[in-house]
Amino acid sequence: MIRLKISEETEKFRQEFQSWLKDHRPPEIDSDCSLETFEKAGRQWQRELASGRWVAVHWPEEYGGRSLSLVEEAIVQEELVRVNSPQLLGLFGLTMVGPVLIEHGTAEQKKKYLPSILNADEIWCQGFSEPGAGSDLAAIKTRARVEKDGFYITGQKVWTSFAHIADWCFLLVRTSDHEKKHKGLTYLLVDMHQDGITTRPLKQITGDQEFNEVFFDNAFAPAENVVGEVGEGWKIAISTLMYERVVLTFARQLQSEVALSQLLERTAGDTDSAQQLMLSGEVAKACAVRALAYKHLLDYAAGKKPGPEGSLDKLFWTESFQSISRLAMEFDGFDVLEGADSASAGSDVQRYLYSRGRTIAAGTSEIQKNIIAERLLGMPRLKYSE
Ligand SMILES: Cc1cc2nc3c(=O)[nH]c(=O)nc-3n(C[C@H](O)[C@H](O)[C@H](O)COP(=O)(O)OP(=O)(O)OC[C@H]3O[C@@H](n4cnc5c(N)ncnc54)[C@H](O)[C@@H]3O)c2cc1C
């Protein structure tokens, strides 16, 4: 794995974490284990990491982090991958709603929610997409009626990862009609354990059931659970997506490095020149993806706020992950795909199937390209029908 080495200090930080990891081993979770086992092991592992103060090290110290930069956060992610740690159960809290609350939340919200995000006492899910609103997120129709005591929510979300185990949801709802559809949206923190919320798991191409449909039938969120202002939810939603494309993307892009290392190991000394050419192409791309991700991390460490450049990281790692996974299947032969799902078919098939969704989740490749064209390259904005 290409490793980030910035200074003696960051290297010392890495060594400290490596030595902690020698005494604290991550759980070995089978891909076909029950949801209960997955959840229990995931909570315990995150708690253990939190007790050593190894989660969200880039959060300010007053909220349970170490006030370090995203470079140290990236080092933690790299070392977790090195020891085969499963993805942290509370990743959406740690990488999305946590940073958003630190930036936009009230003092009470920070006090109430941040500690239990760190130690996985409470798991969060992201309630943005709807059957008619994915790429065009501002088209959401889930409504909240605003009353004196709070918000009464009715509508449907879809593709909500981890909703079936989540305690809380950061939810984008429409609170008023406006001629501009991104106006009149509000960002709410919603308790998932209440009457009026029904969660139905959806089976994925991998055979897993990571995401869900979520139905709201007059579900309630008290007035103090708004983040930002009523009607100003679009701003907070965009801020969430920026964080998603930085921290979460970095954590996830390490998956493609693992896939590539394993493929190189497995095929070493057993490839013809055409295959060697394809493999070296993937290595070159992986180095470029990594260099770009590091460049952005260093910019953030120097004080820059996450912006549209996160779309470059998101686009390139997901496309590279797909092509590495596809190449592995070319070596194996695609006939192993027949009738396969993740539980039965082994890691190459699982990874190949799983990689398909990565260019869709957190904004499709086409949407990332639009953002790059319009917001980074300054090309003319496409006019969509409102
Ligand atoms: C594994 C996975 C996990 C997910 N988890 C969550 C979650 O936890 N919470 C959540 O809220 N959502 C989640 N999503 C949903 C995800 O954000 C949406 O699927 C995504 O934004 C795309 O929206 P859509 O599915 O409605 O597709 P659509 O927006 O209908 O897009 C269909 C196709 O049209 C293309 N397209 C659309 N508009 C344009 C345009 N303007 N220019 C060019 N091409 C365009 C798209 O690129 C795509 O190819 C998840 C999705 C996946 C796959």
CATH code: domain of residue 272: 1.20.140.10
Residue ranges with strand state E in the chain: 124-127, 143-146, 150-158, 168-174, 185-191, 197-202, 211-222, 226-227
pLDDT in tens, 252-276: 788 888 889 999 998 988 899 999 9
Q: What's the Rg (C-alpha) of the chain?
A: 21
* Residue nearest ligand 1's atom 3 by CA: 361
Residue 2 maps to a domain = no
Distance 135 CA to ligand 1 centre (A): 5
- Residue 12 shares a structural domain with residue 34: yes
More confident residue, 4 or 288: 288
Give the pLDDT of residue 214: 98
Give the pLDDT of residue 385: 47
Among 16-20, 176-180, 258-262, which stretch is predicted with the lowest mean pLDDT? Answer: 176-180
Could you give the maximum distance between any two Cα atoms of the chain, in Å?
Answer: 71
Ligand 1: residue of 97, 159, 383 to mutate (most ligand atoms within 8 A of CB) is: 159
Question: Average pLDDT, stretch 32-58?
Answer: 90
pLDDT over threshold 90, residue 294 = no
CATH classification at residue 192? 2.40.110.10
Question: In whole angstroms, what is the distance from residue 200 CA to residue 214 CA?
Answer: 6
Question: In whole angstroms, what is the distance from residue 45 CA to residue 49 CA?
Answer: 6
Question: In whole angstroms, what is the distance from residue 253 CA to residue 322 CA?
Answer: 11
Give the pLDDT of residue 334: 82
Question: Average pLDDT, stretch 285-300?
Answer: 88
pTM (2 decimals)? 0.92
- Residue 86 shares a structural domain with residue 163: no
- Residue 242 shares a structural domain with residue 361: yes
Atom of ligand 1 nearest to the CA of 132: 26
Q: Is the CB of 325 under 6 A from ligand 1?
A: no
Atom of ligand 1 nearest to the CA of 163: 8
Q: Which residues are part of the catalytic machinery?
A: 244
Give the pLDDT of residue 32: 65
Q: Is the CB of 169 under 6 A from ligand 1?
A: no
Long-range CB contacts (< 8 A, 24+ apart) of 360-367? 361/159, 361/161, 362/241, 362/244, 362/245, 362/248, 362/249, 362/314, 363/135, 363/241, 363/245, 363/311, 363/314, 364/134, 364/135, 365/315, 365/318, 365/319, 366/135, 367/135
- Calculate the average pLDDT of the chain: 90
Atom of ligand 1 nearest to the CA of 127: 11
- Residue 273 shares a structural domain with residue 372: yes
The domain in which residue 162 lies consists of 124-231
What are residue 221's phi and psi, to 5 degrees?
-135, 125
Question: In whole angstroms, what is the distance from residue 109 CA to residue 86 CA?
Answer: 29
- Residue 139 shares a structural domain with residue 108: no
Give the pLDDT of residue 386: 43
Q: Is the CB of 135 under 6 A from ligand 1?
A: yes
Question: Average pLDDT, stretch 106-130?
Answer: 97
Atom of ligand 1 nearest to the CA of 366: 47
Q: Is the CB of 366 under 6 A from ligand 1?
A: yes
Distance 309 CA to ligand 1 centre (A): 19
- Residue 72 shares a structural domain with residue 137: no
* Number of domain units in the chain: 3
Residue 381 maps to a domain = no
What whole-number percentage of the chain has pLDDT above 70? 95
Ligand 1: residue of 213, 244, 364 to mutate (most ligand atoms within 8 A of CB) is: 364
pLDDT in tens, 215-246: 999 999 999 999 999 999 999 999 888 888 77
Final residue before a domain boundary, out of 118, 140, 172: 118
Distance 275 CA to ligand 1 centre (A): 33
